[in-house]
């Protein structure tokens, strides 16, 4: 089952994506819908207004998440290319809601950054409140999976040992197009820049799995429906190349996760 948030004449609407139409779920967005008890059964049974799939305008998956957690250095391949050792605990940082855009929206180049990089990521969306979760509770709290690209201003990121300032520029992080529920484990993740495949890996290469991350983060704070976890990027980022390669105005960014779909974004000048 695929769920999404689309833009319409009235603002936005949460929908189920069927083979022939998008069916409204009776909520303004997916974050609002996931907060309802029994959301999974309600989504499967929904029979609201329908929209043609052609021309759907996808908003970011959860427009106003309470929390966006991101994980650094979580693919073995990426850790090795950055010259680091495998971590004992997840490296966590945050984003804010204004950083998020839809799967086909323009992505804004951070003003003042000359080193804008790509990071294809598997996204995890929370579907139930959870705190101090066991592995079983953590797995049950995952609503499903999506596609994320953690577009990063490397020059801002490395101004200090804290990464947030390079990671949460406005309108820099595409999420979606769909939340995929109960359709098996995600497979290969990849990223293209201007037609060149720059990243390709299997999500099995993650050091800390989605379940590990939900269990760990829930020790720090209560996770609630609509929270997003970006699980980290594999090897192949532009900053690690020799010479480095960065995104520029007009760059075409395509991010895919097998079983979850793809994003297509064009880089534009930011404010």
Which pLDDT value is given to residue 182? 87
Cα–Cα distance, 176 to 29 (Å, whole number): 13
pLDDT tens column, 174-193: 999 999 998 777 889 999 99
Give which of 199, 176, 169 is closest to 269, Cα–Cα. Answer: 169
Q: Tokens 């991010």 belong to which residue?
A: 255
Cα–Cα distance, 217 to 135 (Å, whole number): 12
Q: Which CATH architecture has domain 68-269?
A: Alpha-Beta Complex (3.90)
Verify cis geometry, omega within 30 degrees of 0, for the bond prior to 113: no
Cα–Cα distance, 153 to 111 (Å, whole number): 9
Task: State in Å, rounded, how far the first CA of the chain is from the last one.
Answer: 37
Cα–Cα distance, 102 to 132 (Å, whole number): 31
How far out from the chain centre does Cα 170 lie? 15
pLDDT tens column, 92-149: 999 999 999 999 999 999 888 999 999 999 999 999 999 999 999 999 999 999 999 9
Cα–Cα distance, 156 to 122 (Å, whole number): 23
Q: Phi then psi for 269, rounded to 5 degrees? A: -70, 130
Burial (0-12, 13-18, 19+ Cβ within 10 Å), 30: buried
Count of CB atoms situated within 10 Å of the CB of 207: 19
Count of CB atoms situated within 10 Å of the CB of 7: 15
| 134 neighbors 218 (Cβ within 8 angstroms) | no
Which pLDDT value is given to residue 110? 87
Domain(s) of CATH 3.90.850.10: residues in the chain: 68-269
| 208 neighbors 78 (Cβ within 8 angstroms) | no
Angle at alpha carbon of residue 130, lines to 125 and 134, rounded to 5°: 105
Q: Read off the pLDDT of each residue in 149-162 and give the average, rounded to a whole number.
A: 93
| 118 neighbors 253 (Cβ within 8 angstroms) | yes
Q: Residue 7: is its pLDDT beyond 90?
A: yes
């Amino acid at each position: 089952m695929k769920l999404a948030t689309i833009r319409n004449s009235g603002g936005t609407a949460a929908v189920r994506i069927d083979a022939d139409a998008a069916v409204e779920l009776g909520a303004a967005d997916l974050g609002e819908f996931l907060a309802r008890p029994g959301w999974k059964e309600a989504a499967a049974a929904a029979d609201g207004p329908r929209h043609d799939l052609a021309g759907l305008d996808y908003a970011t998956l959860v427009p106003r998440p309470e929390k966006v957690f991101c994980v650094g250095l979580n693919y073995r391949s990426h850790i090795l290319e950055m010259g680091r050792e495998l971590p004992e605990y997840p490296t966590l940082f945050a984003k804010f809601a204004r950083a998020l855009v839809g799967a086909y929206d323009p992505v804004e180049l951070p003003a003042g950054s000359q080193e804008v990089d790509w990071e294809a990521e598997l996204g995890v969306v929370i579907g139930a409140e959870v705190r101090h979760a066991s592995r079983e509770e953590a797995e049950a709290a995952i609503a499903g999976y999506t596609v994320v690209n953690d577009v990063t201003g490397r020059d801002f990121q490395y101004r200090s040992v804290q990464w947030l300032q390079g990671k949460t520029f406005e309108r820099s992080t595409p999420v979606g197009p769909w939340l995929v529920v109960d359709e098996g484990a995600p497979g290969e993740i990849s990223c293209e820049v201007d037609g060149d495949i720059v990243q390709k890996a299997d999500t099995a290469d993650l050091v800390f799995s989605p379940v590990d991350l939900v269990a760990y983060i829930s020790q720090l704070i209560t996770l609630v429906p609509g929270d997003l976890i970006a699980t980290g990027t594999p090897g192949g980022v532009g900053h690690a190349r020799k010479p480095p390669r960065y995104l520029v105005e007009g760059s075409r960014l395509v991010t895919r996760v097998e079983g979850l779909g793809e994003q297509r974004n064009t880089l534009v000048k930011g404010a």
